[in-house]
Amino acid sequence: MTKMVFINLPVTNLPNAIAFYTALGFKQNEAFSNEKSAAMIWSDDIWFMLLTHDFYAQFLQNQTIADTQTTSGAMIALSLDSVTDVKRFAETAKKNGGSYYHVDMGIPEDQMYELEVKDLDGNVVSVDWLE
């Protein structure tokens, strides 16, 4: 059996989140989507599950959903094929209501290039290219 990764993200506006991630190149799997959640496929083995706050909260025990606009609970990283692809992903996020920034880690850009992308809800997805 193939191992898969499902990244669950709480979102405040599901249709807007679907549009945002679709613009970034994710494909929605309608069979695993409804009014409470959307399955967004990055690759055969990596899916982002966008969950409304009410639905996401059902999976929490004695915890609350973090305000990801002000608090970070996780940072997801995805690799891309080139520096150009990293920059294109970040610019697409910005054009669709997100934002991005660069953290200088002291690694030459011809060895590694990374941008931190924030979605509409403040969730951070790092995109990088490695030589």
Q: How many domains does the chain have?
A: 2
* Confidence band, pLDDT 50/70/90 cuts, at residue 60: very high
Query: Which CATH number covers residue 43?
Result: 3.10.180.10
For residue 5, pLDDT beyond 80: yes
6 and 42 part of one domain: yes
pLDDT tens column, 24-55:
999 999 999 999 999 999 999 999 999 999 99
Cα diameter, the chain? 45
pLDDT tens column, 84-117:
999 999 999 999 999 999 999 999 989 999 999 9
Domain hosting 91: range is: 74-131
Of 15, 30, 61, the position where a domain reaches its end is: 61
Of 27, 61, 95, the position where a domain reaches its end is: 61
Rounded to whole angstroms, how far apart are CA atoms 20 and 17?
A: 5
101 and 128 part of one domain: yes
49 and 81 part of one domain: no
Does some domain include residue 69?
Answer: no
For residue 1, pLDDT beyond 80: no
